[in-house]
Structure 1
């Protein structure tokens, strides 16, 4: 049953301009775009949709023998479950508010990001066939830290997602994945919208207003 599902996910969904797009890519982009849109609107439904997206990639990565990538999806699922619970419970019986990241949290994020990137670079270089281990590590670290910020509704989490997407786009172009790179440009636009909406929700002035001062 699982083998049939994996085969279907890897099968061609559409072919355009000589490029074939699999059902996995179609489902991945669609669910990912819906998830980002729901996060921007602070809907708790973003978490189950994100988990469904992770489950699809677990099947594909495992079938392809990419066990480290498959395991990473389990980390994302664990964070998603934590975020789902935290958003539902809220704070003191009220919805969890959007807040800023404290200086102490930034120091923790910076330290964790540096150590995590270094460790992942070594791991990817020695245990995988990655041709760009450092940049793969950077995007993974940024994505995990951004997910932590999303779980806790820190508006700056969007800055981390934007930073990750700015690396992902040229990275996918380098790997010859032109269509995927274009899809991530779409994610980048959604992230900018999410940043603006969460800043407004947190009570901060709009970026344009701040910049004009």
Structure 2
């Protein structure tokens, strides 16, 4: 069986939303993505393998939709997930979870510099080398998502604000591309980000003062 034959069932319409067919890929991406963000808000290690599965579904979905930067972004997310998984289990010391911290000024400077350069570079690349109809917005969400994911890997509180900014752009972007279920998913992500921001803020403020064991089940 070829790869195309294997993936074909995932690309078939499952339901119709607003006269637009929704594939198995988008439904599975919806479910795994929502579960992943909820687990991140709970600081649960299972968010990393669930997130990797979500990335694989989205690689296929975004390639089909012509969102090439977002498709390529998923590959980077997989690599960052491996890094974040290791950091969460080893960064807090033996048997302890990595604590929530604030982003330093130095980190902010590096993140914004990398985000600006990355967004500009991707915009030019997508404009010249692909048939993307939304090169800037595709590049901008890619840059914001990478900045947020780095912060999430290091358990930086402000990573939630970066995710919120990215989701505010993602919601209309995916609706514009006809990915209505994914647009709805990102509206859910936005709500979950607010929950995550609240939970991590409480953790940072010392509501749970005792060191927590790594949550693996």
Change (3 A) 1:73 1:178: closer
The 8 Å contact of residues 170 and 183 in structure 2, kept in 1 or not, is answered as yes
- In the alignment, is residue 41 of structure 1 matched against residue 49 of structure 2? no
CA positional deviation for 1:65: 8.6
What does 1:1-213 correspond to in 2, within 5 Å? 1=1, 2-59=3-60, 69-93=70-94, 94-203=96-205
Cα deviation for residue 68 of structure 1 reads: 5.6
Say whether the 8 Å CA contact 2:10–2:23 is kept in structure 1: yes
Given that 1:146 and 1:160 are in contact with CA atoms closer than 8 Å, whether structure 2 keeps it comes out as yes
Q: TM-score, normalised by structure 1?
A: 0.87
Residue 208 of structure 1: aligned partner: none
Q: CA deviation at 1:5?
A: 2.9
Instruction: Return 5+ residue gaps in structure 1 as ranges.
Output: 206-213
Higher relative contact order (CA 8 A, sep 6+): 2
CA root-mean-square deviation = 2.2
- Cα distance change on mapping 1:53 and 1:177 into 2, 3 Å: closer
Any idea what SS the aligned residue of 1:13 has? Answer: strand
1:188 and 1:178 map into 2 onto residues whose CA distance is 15
Conserved? CA contact 1:147–1:157, under 8 Å: yes
Q: Would you say the 8 A contact 1:173–1:181 is kept in 2?
A: yes
